[in-house]
Amino acid sequence: MEELQVLVDQGKVDENAPNKEGKKLELTVDKVIEEHVGSFGIAQLVHVFMVSLAWLFDSQNTLVTIFSDAQPSWSCKGGGSWCQQGSKGSMCGLEQETWEWVGGNASSTIAEWGLVCDRKFQAGIPASLFFLGSLLGSAVFGRLADLYIGRKRTVLLSCLLTSMTAFLTSLSPNVWIYALLRFSNGFARAGIGICCLVLSTEVVGRKWRGQVGQYGFFFFTVGFLSLPLMAYPNRTSWRNIYKIISLLPFVYSILILPFVSESPRWLVVRGRTKEALEVLRVLARMNGKKLPMNLHISNPSTSSKLNEPDVTKSLWSARWATRRMITVMIAGLGVGFMYYGIQLNVENLNFNLYLTVVVNATMEIPAVFIGSLLLSFMNRRLLFSSSTYIAGASCIICIFFSRKNSTVMGGQGKNEEEKGNWTQLIIEAIGFMAASTAFDILYIYCVELFPTNVRNSAVSLLRQALMLGASIAPLLVVLGRLSPSLSFLIFGGFAILSGILTLWLPETRNAPLYETLEQQEEEEKLSSASDSELELGKQ
């Protein structure tokens, strides 16, 4: 048997041909994983770990503006308070030589380029363009991953571009070049999340998909939690923060990503069944198992040739998929607006910025583990909608604890003399944990709602919707500096609306992952007919 395996590996024996053990065994990737590789073993654990590390950079590049674009405190030169007289605590209208930024002009982009008073809304433009770049990047990288270079190479390309654009951002000479580079950075990082999620979930058994998806979000949380640790020592130089986060994805691309395997499902859909079988054989070997020598991977595509319409068919070619995708995208719009908005809105809480970010990042950790636990036995639709309702309600409750800052532009009224509102912080943290849970679950839900040949495209479209919602959030955060209550009300309303929309989506818990649109449509119709017959039988 071992000699035959060597011959197969060397290409001297056709692994698909019948042999002495019996007729050719033809199975789908799903069945090979469930029956021969193992639903989730050490091989998948190592694979998911290496892939999920990339979420660190996705998080850091997305949320770095919490610190780099924060509005710092200001003080009167000489340490007195005489310059506040007649200005109601705002630096607007004061002579420039009478006040200064705490931490210096290089502490943030707002301080360096004077994005206050009549230029205050320019401060939200770079963050908004970042998310618009992510929206465009999601479309491009999603198509690349599904139709051309695969999941693994797309992650590599995205990481290298993310590293380059983050470093260039640190050299920005003005706010407009900075905004353009943030757009480029958003475009570059878009391929990380969508491909890492799909690449992780496509090598495990169906009952582990939800948990594995959550592992990636755990690393996103770790990246979020690492930001205060990098930002605080560099609180006098926002440029240094960008230089640090630009190094990490480059190192990952060189040292870790080469050892990651391509998705066997994508290889099968592209007609590369021998490569898919080799990936599965390596996974099985790491799990202490062996694949049958007469095993053949079946390709569910009805096309006889590679790259025929069945393989490259658009997500919009099937009416059921179009309706489903539009619903998911509208829900994603609200979730992205809420999730990123709550994170960026932390400066409008009455608390130290670094402490608040640490609290929020810490709350994502139980969100990941609670989400993983609940996904193992709860319906996706119910769990997602419940999370959005809790997040929305928490945002609305925060309104009753909001106090308008005692300064118009967040100056000395935000300093040590103002005590933090612990009740508001706790409620906001609970809301953020629920928002994080909803955000994570929606990704898992989307993966399960669509087949392999359009799965990355579906996830990328969801990401575009999330980024579109997120691109609006920074502008609302700027408005929240004037009216925190209004920003919390709008965030809460969008969250609740997103939960309601899932009533029009099917449940996917324990459902198989299909390979093509035609296969999924046919199987779901058969499943629906079987359920109807069972209900009639019970009556």
* Residue-level pLDDT at 483: 67
**Based on the domain organization, do 290 and 340 belong to the same domain?**
no
> Which tens digits make up the pLDDT trace of 38-90?
888 898 899 989 999 999 999 899 889 888 887 777 777 766 666 654 444 56
Q: Which CATH number goes with the domain that contains 112?
A: 1.20.1250.20
Out of 301, 335, 361, a domain closes at: 301
* Residue-level pLDDT at 22: 54
Residue 16 lies in a domain: no
Q: What is the mean pLDDT of the chain?
A: 78
- Total domain count for the chain? 2
* Residue-level pLDDT at 150: 87
Residue 5 lies in a domain: no
**Based on the domain organization, do 353 and 206 belong to the same domain?**
no
Residue 145 lies in a domain: yes
Residue 153 has pLDDT above 80, yes or no: yes
Residue 13: pLDDT band with limits 50, 70, 90:
very low
Domain that holds residue 138: 25-71+103-301
Residue 158 has pLDDT above 90, yes or no: yes
Residue 12: pLDDT band with limits 50, 70, 90:
very low
Out of 277, 301, 325, a domain closes at: 301
* Residue-level pLDDT at 182: 95
Residue 535 lies in a domain: no
**Based on the domain organization, do 455 and 432 belong to the same domain?**
yes
Among 109, 202, 104, 189, which Cα is nearest to 150's? 202
Check if the beta carbon of residue 37 is closer than 8 Å to that of residue 43.
Answer: yes
Residue 355 has pLDDT above 80, yes or no: no
How much of the chain exceeds pLDDT 70, in percent? 81
Residue 148 has pLDDT above 90, yes or no: no
Check if the beta carbon of residue 288 is closer than 8 Å to that of residue 29.
Answer: no
**Mean pLDDT, to the nearest integer, of 334-340?**
84
Q: What phi and psi, each to the nearest 5 degrees, are found at residue 325?
A: -65, -40
Ranges 178-182, 316-320, 344-348, 521-525, most confident:
178-182
Residue 2 has pLDDT above 60, yes or no: no
Ranges 97-106, 154-163, 206-215, 290-299, most confident:
154-163
Residue 7: pLDDT band with limits 50, 70, 90:
very low
Out of 301, 329, 354, a domain closes at: 301
* Residue-level pLDDT at 177: 95
Of residues 488 and 332, more confidently modeled = 332
**Mean pLDDT, to the nearest integer, of 96-104?**
75
**Mean pLDDT, to the nearest integer, of 227-253?**
91
**Based on the domain organization, do 340 and 400 belong to the same domain?**
yes
Residue 505 has pLDDT above 90, yes or no: no
Check if the beta carbon of residue 204 is closer than 8 Å to that of residue 40.
Answer: yes
**Based on the domain organization, do 328 and 238 belong to the same domain?**
no
> Which tens digits make up the pLDDT trace of 438-463?
888 888 888 888 887 788 788 878 88
**Mean pLDDT, to the nearest integer, of 482-511?**
81
**Based on the domain organization, do 322 and 274 belong to the same domain?**
no
Work out the end-to-end distance of the chain between its first and last CA atoms, rounded to an integer number of angstroms. 54
**Based on the domain organization, do 165 and 262 belong to the same domain?**
yes
* Residue-level pLDDT at 529: 63
Residue 20 has pLDDT above 60, yes or no: no
Residue 54 lies in a domain: yes
**Mean pLDDT, to the nearest integer, of 349-367?**
74
> Which tens digits make up the pLDDT trace of 286-314?
988 888 888 777 766 544 443 443 444 56
* Residue-level pLDDT at 421: 66
Do β-strands 74-76 and 99-101 pair in parallel, antiparallel, or remain unpaired? Answer: antiparallel
> Which tens digits make up the pLDDT trace of 170-180?
999 999 999 99
Of residues 207 and 321, more confidently modeled = 321
Bridge partners (DSSP) of residue 361 are none
**Based on the domain organization, do 432 and 327 belong to the same domain?**
yes
Residue 135 lies in a domain: yes
Residue 48 lies in a domain: yes
* Residue-level pLDDT at 269: 82
DSSP secondary-structure letter at 228? H
Do β-strands 74-76 and 295-297 pair in parallel, antiparallel, or remain unpaired? Answer: unpaired
Residue 161 has pLDDT above 90, yes or no: yes
Model pTM above 0.75: no
* Residue-level pLDDT at 440: 82
**Based on the domain organization, do 209 and 332 belong to the same domain?**
no
Of residues 50 and 474, more confidently modeled = 50
Distance CA 30, CA 28 (A): 5
Residue 185 has pLDDT above 90, yes or no: yes
**Based on the domain organization, do 128 and 246 belong to the same domain?**
yes
Do β-strands 25-27 and 295-297 pair in parallel, antiparallel, or remain unpaired? Answer: parallel
* Residue-level pLDDT at 178: 95
Out of 141-150, 156-165, 312-321, 506-515, pick the least confident.
Answer: 312-321
**Based on the domain organization, do 434 and 484 belong to the same domain?**
yes
Helix pair 175-201, 125-143: axis angle to 10 deg: 40
What dihedral angle (degrees, nearest 10) is formed by the CA atoms of 205, 316, 192, 216? -30
Of residues 242 and 21, more confidently modeled = 242
**Based on the domain organization, do 111 and 234 belong to the same domain?**
yes
In the chain, how long is the greatest CA-to-CA distance?
A: 95
* Residue-level pLDDT at 252: 95
Residue 307 lies in a domain: no
Distance CA 35, CA 81 (A): 73
Residue 9 has pLDDT above 70, yes or no: no
* Residue-level pLDDT at 154: 92
Helix (H/G/I), strand (E/B), else coil: 322? helix
Helix (H/G/I), strand (E/B), else coil: 130? helix
Distance CA 428, CA 443 (A): 23
Distance CA 346, CA 332 (A): 21
Of residues 33 and 480, more confidently modeled = 33
Distance CA 53, CA 55 (A): 5
